[in-house]
Amino acid sequence: MISASFLAIKDNIKENINKLDKTTIDLLHVDIMDGIFVKNKTWDIKEITNLLENTNKPKDIHLMVSDVRKYVNDFKTLQPEYITFHYEAIEDVEDMIKYIKSLNIKVGLSIKPNTEVSLIKPYLKDLDLVLIMSVEPGEGGQKFINSSTQKIDELHTIRKDNNYHYAIEVDGGINDVTIKECVNADILVVGSFITNGNYQEQIDKIRG
């Protein structure tokens, strides 16, 4: 599956999000940054509601924020498919997983490039999605970190061995070359590779 990020779109954002929404992508990836957990800041709920008002694709919300509960409460109004938060941002991971599930939203947990899969093992049985950051979170257009492949494969093995049900998502530096490193991933977050060219043509290249 392709979850398309519009983070790299700088001009006519609303119009171009609508154009992206009409392609064959599976999900719209919504990158929310607070300027605290990561240095960049993106949209608040009012702005994002306006930007997405005419879109139909399911929303895949990635919270790169410190105050996770506040942002979950804001963004639940979009009725997204997934809300993913960062393991590194919160003390009581289990409590937040339960809270998001209680809203009838699928819950994802993300880890930065330097965070080991072993640290999130206790939570895997309860997750709908695990998001591997294959770049440092906070900016689009970075290069894919090769060690991410081992994490994808490790999560794939754990899932198979334990009959878990989470989807494996990868975010950062995905293009028609690095996709070959992600064979065991279920969802690929693709941003600038799509939005810097003809959207549908680039999507077709990714799907190969």
31, 34, 60, 128: which one is catalytic? 31
Burial of residue 123 (CB within 10 Å: 0-12, 13-18, 19+) is: middle
What Cα–Cα distance (Å) separates residue 103 from each residue in 75, 84, 171, 182?
11, 13, 25, 31
Amino acid at 15: E
Query: Is residue 171 flagged as an active site residue?
Result: yes
Please tell me the distance from the alpha carbon of residue 103 to that of residue 54, in angstroms, as a whole number: 23
Helix (H) or strand (E) holding 51: helix 45-51
Q: Comparing C-alpha atoms, which of 179, 186, 173 is closest to residue 106? A: 186
The DSSP-derived string for 63-117 is: EE-S-HHHHHHHHGGG--SEEEEEGGG-S-HHHHHHHHHHTT-EEEEEE-TTS-G
34, 74, 128, 171: which one is catalytic? 171
Both structure tokens of 96: 């937040």
What Cα–Cα distance (Å) separates residue 83 from each residue in 30, 127, 208?
9, 11, 28
* DSSP three-state, residue 11: coil
Query: Is residue 31 flagged as an active site residue?
Result: yes
* Active site positions, annotated: 31, 171
